[in-house]
Structures are given as C-alpha cells and as structure tokens.
Amino acid sequence: MGVFDIFDNGSRSTISGISLNRIADIYGTPVIVYSARRIRDNFTRLKKAFPEASIFYSVKANDNPRIIELLGGMGSGADTASPFEISMSIFAGIDTGNMLYSPNNASLRDLEFAYDRGITINFNSFTQYSKMRGKMERISFRINPGFGLGEFGGITTGGSNTKFGLDPDSAILAYEKAREDGSSEFGIHMMIGSNNRNHLQLYEAYSSFFKVADRISKEAGVKFEFVDIGGGLGIPYSSADKDLDIASLGSMTTDEFSRHGFGHLVLEPGRYIVGDAGIIIGTVNDVHNGFVGTDIGMNINIRPALYGARHMILPLSERTEGEEMTVTGQICENTDRIGQIAYRVMEGDRLMVLCAGAYIYSMSSRYNGRPRPAEAMIMEDGTDRLIRRREDFSDFLSAVV
C-alpha cells in the first residue's frame, strides 16, 4: 500500500481509466475526487486482516452518505459522534442495530437520540452515563488506559491531560453501578489516537488494553460481550512514510484477543478506509512572493494548520522538478498553508493534494465566504458521479432567519 495506489498502474493522473483533468473540466475546481475501487480495496484488506472482527466505519472521517452507503454495502457498520452523523448513516442505509455512538460531552437530548434508535452508546464518562441511568440494558464505557498513541498531539486521545474516557479504577465503579442499575450486556471501548503506522506499537497498545479490560471485567463482575479498540490505523501521507503492516497487526491481535474470554472484537477505523482514496484537485491562481497561490486553502484542508500535517502536492499534468515552494489558499491567515511543492508551476496549472479522503471535507469550513468544494466519485466501472455539489450562495443563506 502506498500513497500512489489510488492511481491506475504507472499513472499519476488517471483513476479507473478516468482522467483527473477531465473530472476538473466537468466539475471545476476545487473538487475532491474519490476512488470507489480504493475504498473497496482498503475495506477488503482490513476485513481480511481482522476476519472475525466487526467493523464500524468512523463517519467523522468522511460523512458523505454515498461513501457510507458504499461501505454499508460491504457489510460495514457506522461509528458516529453526533445525532447528525447518526442521521447521515441512517440516510445512507445503515441499520441502527449496526451503529455505535461514541460521543463526548453529549447532552441528554443527544444521548436520547441514540438510545431511542436502539444504538449502543460508548459513554465517555460516568456523568454522561448518569443522565441515562437505569434505562440502559446494554452499556459500554470508553476507557483511558493511561497511555495515548497518535501521530500528533492533537490526535492523541489517551494518556494524561485528555478529556476522553474513564481511568480503569473509575471504570470498575462505573460498571458496578451499571450492573446495580440493571444493565445486563456490557462492552468496553478505547480510542487512544490516530494515524498510527507501527503495527508493533498498536499491538502493544491493544494487548495492554485487553489486560485492563480483563481486570475491569473481573473486579466489576461483568463479562464483555464486545471489546472496541477504536480507530487509529494509519496510512502513509508521503512516499517516504512506512506502510502499516495490517496483516501482521490483524493476526497478532486476533491471536491475543482469543486468549481472553471476551465476546467479539470491534474496530472503528476511519482514515484507513478512506484516507488515501481521495484527492483534492485545485488551480494555481497566482505565484507571488515565492508562494504558490491556489484555490485549496485551510478552509478545505485544515490539517496542516491544525496539527502540522503533511500532504503530498503534485502538478496534475506537466511535472518538471523545480525549487520547493509553499502552497497556499485564498484565506486571510498566515496559517493558510497546505504544504510544499517541488515542481515548477504557473498560473492556470492544476495541482492535486494526495490522501485527502479523511478529515478533509468533514473538517472543512466556509471561512472567508468560500463555499465547500464539490465531491465526485470515480466508480469501479470507470464512470464518474457527482456525490456532493459545490456549495453556492443559497447554502450560505439557508440557515439565516
């Protein structure tokens, strides 16, 4: 698996036989283009590595219902973080019995929204659970096992100084209370961070979590019907990044899991399934002061400004190596930088930003009055489909009263 796998063999400008220049001609720029084949391949590889696990695609990575629908058709469930993500997943055809709700700081209304639809909730704290006390037959808590694992501080969600989860001792008390309150089915959850490409580190983390879960199970007197190890499976963002050895991770984890007496294993991956399956295509509008000025800015890809994330950026057609320059967008912030380009570019050229399938559209904004981009999907039969139109001014006015 590599950063260029989305393209047809040997090509860096066609996907399933379709020219990306043609997509940009049809839909304009900026546009995010997804490969249905790549999403399917990623999901299939994951399923092969973890054949006995239930996979709940984490909708926050990319909430386009056509993508959720594609994954639902392959047997994926949906892991959701808000009522609207639940609604989006229902719209995309996912059965509520095949959904998880893993929110934090949810209101009673949010929690009831999930509960009323029969969706299993991963509670982030005992106080969150208390809002629903006595109602829940099936209950799961998110555990902070005392360590985190993520590519950047901003996407490390375990260990000290995070708002996520209960420490193991508090979790024991929480499960005891839930048992006393009448709950009879139990799950346990952790999500310690994102974009991890080292299978040994992930395996270590999962093994430690299984030990923590064992202890909680014994001391609280509950049996875990499911153990949810969250998302966090990483992808390469540049050709220098190492690939996650998913096959080894899957077999080592499955073996270790089978040594405990838990029910079934659950995964909630987002990035691994869609991250390298999307590309943003944009246009160079200016080259000025040594910066390449494009129509792709932090309004579309906030990750570099937010975490210092890196994305490979290439010209769509002519590729002549040149002096490295910073690529910027149209936003009035000096953090409006989406990466570096080491090719010669001129006004009017088209660029592409790779690995833009996860945490791009779903984290985009309308800052500076810029509409969100169009999204197109290249289908496996070599046809293309607009899956979300570019926003227009009516979208800016739609909530104004």
Ligand X SMILES: Cc1ncc(COP(=O)(O)O)c(C=O)c1O
* String of contacts with ligand X for each residue 141-180, x by CB under 6 A: ----------------------------------------
**Count of Cβ atoms closer than 10 Å to residue 401 Cβ:** 2
First-to-final CA distance of the chain = 49
168: preceding bond cis by omega (within 30 degrees): no
Is the CB of 234 or the CB of 293 nearer to ligand X?
234
Q: Name which position in 197, 271, 303, 388 contacts ligand X (CB under 6 A).
A: 271
Q: Does 191 participate in binding ligand X (rule CB under 6 A)? A: yes
Minimum distance between the CB of residue 337 and ligand X, rounded to whole angstroms?
23
Query: What residues pair up with 74 in beta bridges, in sequence order?
Result: none
Nearest to 190 by CA among 124, 136, 234, 247: 124
Asked if residue 362 lies in contact with residue 61, where contact means CB atoms within 8 angstroms, the answer is yes
Residue 374 CB burial class (10 angstroms; 0-12, 13-18, ≥19): buried
Minimum distance between the CB of residue 400 and ligand X, rounded to whole angstroms?
31
User: In the range 17-46, which residues lie near ligand X by CB under 6 A?
Assistant: none
Minimum distance between the CB of residue 147 and ligand X, rounded to whole angstroms?
16
**What DSSP string runs through 182-193?**
T--EEEEE---B
Task: Please work out, in degrees rounded to the nearest 5, the angle formed at the alpha carbon of residue 83 by the alpha carbons of 77 and 85.
Answer: 45
Minimum distance between the CB of residue 13 and ligand X, rounded to whole angstroms?
27
User: In the range 207-246, which residues lie near ligand X by CB under 6 A?
Assistant: 230-233
Is the CB of 65 or the CB of 231 nearer to ligand X?
231
Alpha-carbon distances, residue 313 vs 264, 282, 342 (angstroms): 41, 10, 8
* String of contacts with ligand X for each residue 327-356, x by CB under 6 A: ------------------------------
User: In the range 47-86, which residues lie near ligand X by CB under 6 A?
Assistant: 58, 60-61, 79
How many residues line the site for ligand X (CB under 6 A)?
18
Minimum distance between the CB of residue 79 and ligand X, rounded to whole angstroms?
5
Task: Please work out, in degrees rounded to the nearest 5, the angle formed at the alpha carbon of residue 280 by the alpha carbons of 276 and 281.
Answer: 135
Q: List, in sequence order, every beta strand (DSSP E) within 135-181.
A: 138-142
Minimum distance between the CB of residue 46 and ligand X, rounded to whole angstroms?
10
Task: Specify the residue for token string 């009055």.
Answer: 369
Q: Name which position in 102, 120, 156, 299 contacts ligand X (CB under 6 A).
A: 102
| Residues contributing to the site for ligand X (CB under 6 A) | 58, 60-61, 79, 102, 191, 194-195, 230-233, 268-272, 358
